[in-house]
Amino acid sequence: MSKRFFLKATAALAAIAAIGTAHAQTTPLKFQLDWRFEGPAAFFLTPVAKGYFKDAKLDVTVDAGNGSGGAVTRVASGTYDIGFADLAALMEFHANNPEVPNKPVAVMMVYNNTPASVMALKKTGIKTPADLAGKKLGAPVFDAGRRAFPIFAKANGIGNVAWTAMDPPLRETMLVRGDVDAITGFTFTSLLNIEARGVKAEDVTVLQYPDYGVKLYGNAIIASPKLIKENPAALKAFLLAFTKGAKDVIADPAAAINDVKARDGIINTELEIRRLKLAIDTVINSPDARAEGFGQVKGPRLSLMASQVSDAFNTKTRVNPEAIWNGSFLPTAKELDILPKPKK
């Protein structure tokens, strides 16, 4: 065997070994969305499509969900490493399952304000929260807005209302048909669904919770205690890659929807662009988010929400705000500075 051949063979084997080592260092992470592949899912699908997770040596799988409660329980069970869920749902899980050892923890705030609102057709005469007294409201039993309605009612002195439960696909249909007077739901979901049923946006009254004294946080990225303990570096890398992708989504929502369409080819592109823009304007790039900083929470506000959720959800134990939040894996303040200044 010649020396040159030996050196080439050795170099080739070293290259193969290096590739194998690099591959071995890639961390697989399973991510659970809160809902279907709709506009806001771009925040997680774009960093996948652009290779930001891959560049961070992460192999991230993003799966559609069927509600925040499901996302919380799937991360708690260990089926998923990370998820996206309403903070109130996470609080409720913690307070109602004190004996469960693997309770997920929120590690990054994405929806600084709850997207929940009450929506009614203007022809019903409902213009303010006070007008809801004695009315028939509809929503799925697990809907975040319905669960938090006692907080909204208390903040606005609303009298008793009657509730009708239905499956999510029937909510807006029943409102348009007049089967209920008003519904609760995420603004960027239900308002566009109402429009899709032939009602103009200007004919809908939208009472957004944050506009009426309810400063609940919305959806956060949650992580399993196992991931936090065993691979904190991977979690930190995930949040930084996500932030990079989020900046791109906010800068160009229309382009980001292509990444959603790649996962669900039957979505209505124009509708989902509008949905994503509405989500950005109402709960992501909101005045509260700009004041507190993207991804972050403020202690007093978090504590107030924990107390409100404990009361409204009638939890088994009181929510401990310190147990549900861990901001130590967040990118730096400079890296989190991705929110554009408000348009004048």
Tokens 């809902």: give the residue. 35
- Reply yes or no on whether the pLDDT at 300 is more than 80: yes
> Are 102 and 241 part of one and the same domain?
yes
- Reply yes or no on whether the pLDDT at 6 is more than 80: no
Tokens matching residue 96: 């109602």
pLDDT for 9 equals 56
How much is the CA Rg of the chain, to the nearest whole Å? 22
Tell me the per-residue pLDDT of 143-196, one tens digit each, with 9 for 90 and over. Answer: 889 999 999 999 999 999 999 999 999 999 999 999 999 999 999 999 999 999
In a domain, 83, yes or no: yes
> Are 223 and 319 part of one and the same domain?
yes
pLDDT for 21 equals 47
> Are 202 and 223 part of one and the same domain?
no
In a domain, 197, yes or no: yes
pLDDT for 142 equals 87
Q: Which amino acid is at 264?
A: D
Domain that holds residue 172: 116-212
The answer to whether the pTM exceeds 0.95 is no
> Are 143 and 240 part of one and the same domain?
no
- Reply yes or no on whether the pLDDT at 104 is more than 60: yes
pLDDT for 7 equals 56
| pLDDT average, residue stretch 3-19 | 56
| pLDDT average, residue stretch 55-83 | 96
pLDDT for 1 equals 52
Q: Confidence band (pLDDT; 50, 70, 90) for 15? A: low
Mean of per-residue pLDDT scores for the chain? 93
> Are 105 and 229 part of one and the same domain?
yes
Tokens 């408000």: give the residue. 342
- Reply yes or no on whether the pLDDT at 22 is more than 50: no
> Are 137 and 225 part of one and the same domain?
no
- Reply yes or no on whether the pLDDT at 49 is more than 50: yes
Q: Which of 164, 195, 212 is the last residue of a domain?
A: 212
> Are 128 and 254 part of one and the same domain?
no
Maximum distance among all alpha carbons in the chain? 93
In a domain, 339, yes or no: no
pLDDT for 14 equals 57
Q: In 157-224, which residue ranges form alpha helices assigned H by DSSP?
A: 171-177, 187-196
The Cβ of residue 79 has, within 10 Å, a number of other Cβ atoms equal to: 13
In a domain, 252, yes or no: yes
- Reply yes or no on whether the pLDDT at 250 is more than 50: yes
- Reply yes or no on whether the pLDDT at 10 is more than 80: no
In a domain, 184, yes or no: yes
Tokens matching residue 323: 């147990």
> Are 104 and 141 part of one and the same domain?
no
pLDDT for 3 equals 57
- Higher-confidence residue of 12 and 22: namely 12
Spatial neighbors of 233 by CB under 8 A, at least 6 apart, are none
Spatial neighbors of 94 by CB under 8 A, at least 6 apart, are 103, 319, 320, 323, 324
Q: Which of 212, 237, 256 is the last residue of a domain?
A: 212
Q: Residue 285 and residue 170: Cα distance in Å, rounded?
A: 30
| pLDDT average, residue stretch 206-231 | 96
The Cβ of residue 311 has, within 10 Å, a number of other Cβ atoms equal to: 14
Please report, for the domain that includes residue 108, its CATH number: 3.40.190.10
Residue 197, SS3 per DSSP: coil
- Reply yes or no on whether the pLDDT at 27 is more than 50: yes
Q: Confidence band (pLDDT; 50, 70, 90) for 82? A: very high
pLDDT for 57 equals 98
Distance of CA 50 to the CA centre of its chain: 20
Q: Confidence band (pLDDT; 50, 70, 90) for 328? A: very high
Tokens matching residue 262: 């790649």
Residue 12, SS3 per DSSP: helix
Q: Residue 40 and residue 166: Cα distance in Å, rounded?
A: 24
pLDDT for 5 equals 58
pLDDT for 292 equals 96
Spatial neighbors of 317 by CB under 8 A, at least 6 apart, are 95, 96, 98
Residue 327, SS3 per DSSP: coil
Number of domains comprising the chain: 2
Percent of the chain with pLDDT over 70: 93
> Are 155 and 221 part of one and the same domain?
no
pLDDT for 308 equals 95
Q: Which of 212, 244, 267 is the last residue of a domain?
A: 212
pLDDT for 342 equals 77
Q: Which amino acid is at 71?
A: A
- Reply yes or no on whether the pLDDT at 44 is more than 80: yes
The torsion defined by the Cα of 129, 130, 132 and 133, in degrees rounded to 10, comes to 150
Give the chain's length.
344
- Higher-confidence residue of 142 and 79: namely 79
